[in-house]
Structure 1
Amino acid sequence: MMSLTFAQFWLALIVAAVWVAVVWRRKPSAFPYPNIRLFGKGIKDWRQNLARALRWLGIISLLVAIARPQLVRWEEVRTEGIDIVITLDISGSMTATDFLPNRMEAAKRVIRNFVELLKQKRGGDRLGLVVFAAESYTQCPLTDDYEFFLEALNQVQNAREGIVEDGTAIGDGLTVALRRLQNSPAKSKVVILLSDGMNNAGQVQPRDAARIAAAMGVRVYTIGIGTTTGTVSWQDPLTGRTQVGRVAGFDEPLLREIAQRTDGAYFYAADRSTLESILRYILQLETTPLVVRKEQKRTELAIWFVAFALACLLVEALLVHSLWRRVP
């Protein structure tokens, strides 16, 4: 919605009144444009009419500029969204093939779809990405640049590729995610933690991390991925042969307790479609904190009226003092 307003309308009226009082009644001391007919019949020459028109246009434009015309647009501005940190398990068991092509790649594809859905339906929310195995680190800080987030997600590699030591440090992963949210101004702060293993590494116990999250007001949604019949394959560094084995499964009671302590929710994803439905459901749960307010965007137009006025007065002066000479 747009409208035109004048910030200094009364000032323009005062200037106009002063100008009328001082200049209006003053008689010209010369005939401005030589034409013999003016002495006989008092007929106004076309050049005189054109010059006066230019002068009036210039004066009126200056008065409008003094009134400070502004084009006002009302825009909706999203001032508060949700800060979401996705915490992804990248331990060796995430290469299990009960999800195709494996658990980690399936999880990354579902997260991509989640980001696209977030971009289409919401916008204004910030996303971050933390990955963990035996160690944990921030793959992507909180950002509203979803393309940057997706690029960081594409670069995530499994622990078996030698990026970090293999293992499952759920407590450390959650703690790093909480650090990303520590200085967040958002009223709603969320961690989505995806894991398929038992906590067997790290310096922070998962229950202690959950207590910290509860104290910070961060809701943690935990998702257990995979089945107990999943298999995992890896390259033996000594023999170079591909080894195949079964995975032990994840600690469902622990994930459920973390979610309950933080007023979040626990979900079990036995396949990719279920995982995708879970993330969509979480997005539906986190809808209320987004605040939209209307804000005025003002564009000053006075400079255009000043430029037009100067152009009119300059043309009038050039015509009068060069092409059309005055009679003294």
Structure 2
Amino acid sequence: MADASTEIWEWLSFKWFLPGTLQNFDWENPIVFFALIGIPIIFLLRWLINFKFNQKLEVAFPKRQLKWRPISLLRFVPDLLMAISLVLLIISLARPQKTNEKVEQWTEGIDIMLVIDISESMQIEDFKPNRLTAAKNVARDFIKGRFQDRIGIVIFSGDAYSLSPLTTDYDLLFSHIDDISFDMIESRGTAIGSSLAVATNRMRESDSKSKVIILLSDGDNTAGNIDPITAAELAQAYGIKMYTIGIGKEGKVPFGKDFFGRTTYVENTLDETTLRKIAEIGEGNFYRVSDNQALKDVFALIDEYEKAEIKETRFKDTTDFYGIYLRWGIVFFLMWLLLKSSFMSNVLQD
């Protein structure tokens, strides 16, 4: 009983006629609103027909007895009620609705380990401001473009260290990337083989259909206790795909400034052969990059290669409100029928 009472009071609410309420509706048949133009035309034609053809009764009154009274405006009330009824009927025919659409997205996801070199040579400034900062920036952008993929981070220098396990908490990954610095690992060198082994160990128990390692380094394997090729074969045995990125130019490259502000240069070498072999074993690709833009392009390319199919389910719940305006239209129509036979009507016309 209470629900019925609430529904009636809801129907009687003035809010249904507020501009804000009408603007928030979705309209199934908006073209019907063009019929609103016809309402004043109908009343104008009706007035012209009545003026020309209706009977007229001439009655002689002295001018002093012809006085206008406000009550005479009441004869327009029936026409006003009819106009309102027609407007409400048109609104109901336009089919006001509210749609609540919910979209659920999911994907099987990919497990990705980012393996980043933080050795001293990553301070070289052939990338701006240096190689490591450029690598951190593209890694951050790469993570932003993923959806429900688990991503982990391994850093390495003379040793390899798992900075983050596989996770979908991308804010946590951004925080870890911000914290990466050259002094996080004390031992010097470039332990490429160890870094692959640590990344493989992190992905060993993963049941994901797609597992990927992205290795970024700028030097030769000079440290660690496992050969890079052996580590790559171990990763391949676990079904891990490997991309390798050689970062930096060959030869003399800028390495900061001396006491007098002059740019210093160091000789840079890169074991491109080993990185190519790792990518070949892992059925991925090797890329050589020499500036910031090239590094961005490579990560964008890998991002496209390793996209999981995103599936979505849409739930659409539509509520119609045309009944409210139809009932109000009927009410005004009945009021018009009632008043058209009352003293408010022009007896000579009706």
Mark yes or no: TM-score above 0.5: yes
CA distance in 1, matches of 2:188, 2:4: 83
CA distance in 2, matches of 1:95, 1:55: 72
Corresponding residue to 2:130 among 102, 121, 125: 102
Amino acid at match of 1:132: F
The match for 2:193 is: 171
Structure 2 CA distance for partners of 1:244 and 1:55, relative to 1, 3 Å:
closer
Partner of 2:162: helix, strand, or coil? strand
Partner of 2:112: helix, strand, or coil? strand
Amino acid at match of 1:275: L
Structure 2 CA distance for partners of 1:202 and 1:54, relative to 1, 3 Å:
closer
CA distance in 2, matches of 1:148, 1:234: 35
Structure 2 CA distance for partners of 1:269 and 1:179, relative to 1, 3 Å:
same
Query: 1:177: how far off?
Result: 0.8
The match for 2:160 is: 136
Corresponding residue to 1:111 among 126, 132, 139: 139
CA distance in 1, matches of 2:125, 2:268: 14
Q: Aligned-residue CA RMSD in angstroms?
A: 3.0
Q: Tell me if structure 2 keeps the 8 A contact 1:231–1:247.
A: no
Partner of 1:139: helix, strand, or coil? strand
Partner of 1:183: helix, strand, or coil? coil
Q: Which runs of 5+ in 1 are unaligned?
A: 1-52, 58-72, 236-241, 297-328
Work out whether 1:275 is the aligned partner of 2:303.
no
The match for 2:41 is: none
Query: 1:179: how far off?
Result: 1.2
Q: Which runs of 5+ in 2 are unaligned?
A: 6-100, 316-350
Q: Tell me if structure 2 keeps the 8 A contact 1:139–1:153.
A: no
Amino acid at match of 1:195: S
Query: 1:139: how far off?
Result: 1.0
Corresponding residue to 2:220 among 168, 181, 198: 198
Structure 2 CA distance for partners of 1:99 and 1:295, relative to 1, 3 Å:
same
Amino acid at match of 1:127: I
Structure possessing the higher radius of gyration over alpha carbons: 2
Partner of 1:247: helix, strand, or coil? strand
TM-score (normalizing by structure 2): 0.57
TM-score (normalizing by structure 1): 0.61
Alpha-carbon displacement from aligned partner over 1:264-289 (angstroms, at most 9, x marks no partner): 000011101000000000011112x4
Query: 1:290: how far off?
Result: 3.6
Query: 1:115: how far off?
Result: 1.9
Partner of 1:193: helix, strand, or coil? strand
Amino acid at match of 1:260: E
Work out whether 1:93 is the aligned partner of 2:121.
yes
Corresponding residue to 1:124 among 141, 148, 154: 148
The match for 2:50 is: none
Corresponding residue to 1:180 among 194, 199, 202: 202
